Amino acid sequence: MRDGVTCINAIDVLRSLRDGLEQHTSITREERERLLNLIAEARREYDEMAKREVQRAFVYSFEESARTLLNNYLDNVEAYCNKTKVIDPITEEEMEPDERLMRSIEEQIGITENTKRQFREEILIKISSLARRGQKFDYTSHDRLREAIEKKLFADLRDVVKITTSTKTPDADQLRRINEVIDRLVQQHGYCPVCANELLKYVGALLNR
C-alpha cells in the first residue's frame, strides 16, 4: 500500500497483483504471461468503467440529459421513416429530419449509412411493441440505442472532463465543478471522498494520454 494512503482502490489491487507475479519464482514464464495478460485486461475494463463513472457524475442529471437527447432523436427518426417533417418546438416551422443529429448518435455504435434505415425502423418497431403492452419506451429500452446515447453524451462531455480533471491550478469555476462531481460520486455512486478524488485524478490522466 502506498505511503499516506488510507484507502485501497482497484488500481492498487491490480498493481499489487502485477508486482507480486513479477516477484513470484514458483510459476512458469507461460503462466506468468497468461496472468499478466489477465491483469492487463482487467485494467482496461476498469479504465472504461472509471471513465463512465466520472462522465456520468459530470452530467448534473444524466437521466434527464439522456431523455432529452433520446426524444430529439426519436422525433427525427419518426419523421425520417414516415417521410414527414419535424416541427421546430420554438418557431413551429416544419423542418427536414436532422440527419446530422441522427448520424452523430448512430455512429457511436457503428451504424453505417447502409444500415441506418434498418436500425431506425427497428427502433420504431420496438416503440410500437412496448406501446401495445402499455409500456413506455425510454433510453434503456433498446440496448444498442442506450449505448449510443451514452457514448454521444460522453463524447460531447469529454473535453470538459479532460480540462477540469487535469488542471493543476483550477480556477473558482473548475474547483466548484470538481467539488460537485466528488459530491455526486460519494452520494450517488458509493465512493468515499478520498476514493472519489483519486478516481477523478486517475480519469483526468487517462483522458490526457
Q: In this model, does residue 2 exceed pLDDT 60? A: no
Query: What is the reported pLDDT for 40?
Result: 93
Q: How far apart are CA 51 and CA 57, in angstroms?
A: 10
Q: Angle at the Cα of 82 (from 77 to 87), degrees rounded to 5?
A: 65
- Mean of the per-residue pLDDT values of the chain: 87
Q: In this model, does residue 5 exceed pLDDT 70? A: no
- Tens of pLDDT, residue by residue over 80-123, are 999 999 988 778 889 999 999 999 999 999 999 999 999 999 99
Q: How far apart are CA 161 and CA 182, in angstroms?
A: 13
Considering 21-30, 97-106, 178-187, the range whose residues carry the highest mean pLDDT is 97-106
Torsion sign (Cα): 37, 40, 42, 45: negative
Q: Angle at the Cα of 140 (from 52 to 143), degrees rounded to 5?
A: 80
Q: How far apart are CA 148 and CA 154, in angstroms?
A: 10
Mean pLDDT across 181-197: 90
**For residue 161, how many other CB atoms are within 10 A of its CB?**
23
- Tens of pLDDT, residue by residue over 71-90, are 999 999 999 999 999 988 77
Q: In this model, does residue 28 exceed pLDDT 90? A: no
Q: Angle at the Cα of 30 (from 28 to 33), degrees rounded to 5?
A: 110
